[in-house]
Amino acid sequence: MITGANQMECAIIVVAATDGTMPQTREHLLLAKQIGIENIVVFINKADAADAEMLELVELEIRDTLKQYGYDGDKVPVVSGSALCALEDKNPEIGRNKIVELLKVIDSVPMPKRDLDKPFLLPVEQVFSITGRGTVATGRIERGKIKLQDQVEIIGYDKMLKSTITGIEMFKQMMDVGEAGDQVGLLLRGVKRDDIRRGMAVCAPRSAAMHNFVEAQIYMLSKKEGGRQKPFTNNFQLQIFSKSWDCPAFLLLKEGQELIMPGEDVGISLHLQKKVFLEPGQRFTMRCGGATMGYGVVAKVLPDPGPGKWAE
C-alpha cells in the first residue's frame, strides 16, 4: 500500500458507519499526509446498516480525525452511502446515487501542477514481457516528458542499464508522447525481463543517481500514534519505503546521540543495503515488523560508506 500510495494525487478514505474511525484509518491518513497527498475524500459505507444519528456521529468523528492529521476536516467532502446497495441495485438513494455523487466529488478535485520541464522520471511499478516485442515497464510519470526513440537509463538496486523507448501505451492506446501524471507502459529495447524490477526508475540519461547513504530528518511515531514503545538505538534496522521501492537500512545516530525516543523529530543518517534512486527532498516511510515506525525526508546524499554493518 505504501509504495503504491506514492503515486497517488487524491485518496478516498472509506469508513464503515457501523465501526467509525479505526486504527488503520489513522495509519492511512498519516501515510497519505506524509507522502504529500493533499486531497482527501471520505466515503462512509454501510449507510444501510446505520440510522441518521449514527451517520452524523461518524461524520463528526472522521472530520475531527482529519484535523488531527493536518487536513481541513470542515472542508473535506464526505459522502454517505452503501456499496452493497449499489452492487445489488437496491435502494438507489443510498446506493447507486451516492456512488455517482462520490465520482462527481472526485472529478471536482483540482488537477495538480505537473513538472513538465524537469528531466524525465518514472518509478517502475510493474514489469512484464510481450512475446516478440520485448520488456515493458509500467508506472506513473513523475516528471518531465518521454517520446518514442528517446534514450533512457534504468537505475536501482545497484544496477544501471541503458535503453531506447520503442513504445508508449496508456489505457490500451499507443502514444507518441507521455508526460508527467500519465500512467503508462514503456517498451524498452534490449532489456530482458529479469534485468529490471519494481522499485527501479526509468529516467533521462545522467539526470538521476543511485545512493545508499543519506542524511535525513525523521519523525518517529509515538505510541499513541501507533508507533514503537521502546526507543531506537544506533544501527537499528528498518525497512525504508519510497517511490515504488523498499529496501532494508540501518539507522545511524549522530555523534552525541544515544537513542531516539518515539515522538521525536531528529536528524540521522541511513545506510541502505542497496543503492536506489534517492535525492534531496525525497520523502520516505520507515517500517518494522509490519508496522509504521515513522517517516522522513532526505536532507543530503552522501558518498558510499562501504559495506559497514551489511558485511557482518
Q: State whether residue 100 is helix, strand or coil.
A: helix
The pLDDT tens digits of the residues spanning 237-274 come to 999 999 999 999 999 999 889 999 999 999 999 999 99
Q: Where are the beta strands (DSSP E) in 46-193?
A: 78-80, 121-123, 126-130, 134-140, 145-147, 151-156, 159-170, 173-175, 177-179, 183-188
* Stretch(es) of the chain classified as CATH 3.40.50.300: 2-107
Contact 141, 155 (CB under 8 A): no
Pick the CATH number of 2-107 from 2.30.130.10, 3.30.1330.40, 3.40.50.880, 3.40.50.300: 3.40.50.300
Select from 299, 218, 303, 310 the least CA-distant residue to 272. 310
Report pLDDT for 123: 97
Q: Which residues contact 122 (CB under 8 A, 6 or more apart)?
A: 137, 139, 140, 141, 142, 146, 184, 186, 201, 202, 203
What is the residue-averaged pLDDT of the chain?
Answer: 93
The structure's pTM equals 0.79
CATH architecture of 121-203: Beta Barrel (2.40)
The pLDDT tens digits of the residues spanning 194-241 come to 999 999 999 999 999 999 999 999 999 998 888 899 999 999 999 999
Q: Give the cell for residue 244.
A: 515504488
Q: Please identify, in words, the CATH class of the domain defined by 210-311.
A: mainly beta
Report pLDDT for 253: 96
Residue 5 confidence (pLDDT) above 60: no
Q: Which residues contact 162 (CB under 8 A, 6 or more apart)?
A: 151, 152, 153, 154, 205
Q: What is the CA radius of gyration of the chain?
A: 22
* Stretch(es) of the chain classified as CATH 2.40.30.10: 121-203, 210-311
Contact 125, 7 (CB under 8 A): yes
Report pLDDT for 151: 98
Taking the C-alpha atoms of residue 280 and residue 214, their distance in angstroms, rounded to an integer, is 9
